[in-house]
Each structure stands twice: as structure tokens, then as C-alpha cells.
Chain A
């Protein structure tokens, strides 16, 4: 089925470790996004991508790295995880038309001990 899939759904890791969250979409949407959701902060944009090999920073990019070698995949890497990065991470995608909604995956709940 068409959609947007995030993996893993749950992840526990330790401070200082590298962790990669995966996002795959089957719509061939040009735009993809990574958000984090925290109590009291709502949804905050980490990075987004307008197309393959084009990425840009969002509101809270520090400590994160993204890549987009293929249109359908947009992995998010925490190079050296910190406790403050414990959060729920959502990937989203949208069409190029600016009046179109973003479509979200079901999230990855990441706990950093």
C-alpha cells in the first residue's frame, strides 16, 4: 500500500551512540520533513528536503544529520545521541504544490539513556 513508513517504531540507546531513523514514502512526493514532538513544544521541524540531494535546516537542526540520495528515502541520523534528544520523531512528505497537506508516518519513539 502507498504510504509513509518509519522504522524502527521504538528505539532505546545510550548517550554518545549514533542512531539512524529511517523514513520511506511510496508517493514519489518531492518534499520530505523530519519533526520532533515533545510535551510543551508541539511539533518542531528538524530538517526538510525539497528533492533528492537537496536538504535544508529547520527550527532545531543541531545534533542531527540528514541525507536524501533517493526521492523515497529520508533518513535522520543522530551522530552522538544526547538525553535531550529523547523524543518522538515524525517523518512527513508532501507534493510540490504548496496548498497540499503533509502526510505523516506513525513516528519513532526514541529513548536515550
Chain B
């Protein structure tokens, strides 16, 4: 069975500081991993994905994520946080070769960037 954990319900960071939002996953085989952001009263917006290859993937709005197979982690990072980055962030996993297109989403982490 697939699962995703986001160990922090809330992350607070000062504007201009680096941010990290953590994600760990569990799948039987190899994963496809995704990060999404959700702003108030909006749907989830795709940020970036890991399929294969380079462990550091870059995405929208200056975000990047590092895939670590040995630690089964896919942490989201940004070198310098903006107040406008404040939102709810979701990690999702799908097992490669699995049936259908179903994702498993983590519970979400609320990021607050303080001015």
C-alpha cells in the first residue's frame, strides 16, 4: 500500500529565509512524487514532480525538491521565502507501474511566511 507522511502540520519561516517542507513516502516499488500548493478557496496547483534521474528537481515559483531514495523522502525547498508563499502544501505519491492513475496525498503542511 502507498502512503505519504508530512510530519509537520505547520511551518513558520521569516521572509527571506530558506524554507523546507518535509515529506516521506512508502510504496512497494519505485515512486512518482509530486508537490502541490493550495491557496485559500482554490484548487491544488502542481508545483513539481520527480519521475527519475536527477534527485534535485526544480519547479514553479522558485521551488525545488530533493528526492532521497534511502530515506524515502521528498522534501520541498526554497532558498528565500516570500510572504506570498504562505499556503497549504501537499505531497503526493504514485507507484510506478501501479494500477490506474491514483495518487495518495499527504495530509498537508501549512506554511506561514512572516514579514
Contact = CB atoms under 8 A, between A and B. Distances in A.
Interface of A: 4, 31, 33, 41-43, 45, 48, 50, 56, 58, 90, 92, 94, 96, 98-99, 101-107
Interface in B24-48: 32, 34, 36, 41-46
Contact of B43 (A41, A45, A101, A105): A105
Contacts of B90: 42-43
Nearest to A40: B107
Contacts of B71: none
Interface stretch (B10-18, B62-70, B74-82, B95-103): B95-103
Given A42-B90, A99-B51, A104 B102 contact: no
A58 B105 CA distance: 13
B22 interface: no
- Which of the four size classes fits the interface of chain B? 20 to 34
A46 to B, nearest CB: 12
A77 B32 CA distance: 31
B107 A42 contact: yes
Contact of B97 (A98, A103, A107): A98
Contact of A56 (B36, B98, B100, B105): B100
Contacts, number: 58
Nearest to A95: B101
A109 B36 CA distance: 20
Contacts of A103: 46
Given A43-B90, A99-B49, A48 B44 contact: no
Taking each of A31, A45, A98, which has the highest tally of chain B beta carbons within 10 Å of its own beta carbon? A98
A20 to B, nearest CB: 19
Given A94-B101, A98-B98, A98-B101, A107 B34 contact: no
B46 A48 contact: no
Contacts of A58: 102
B97 A43 contact: no
Contact of A104 (B43, B49, B98): B43
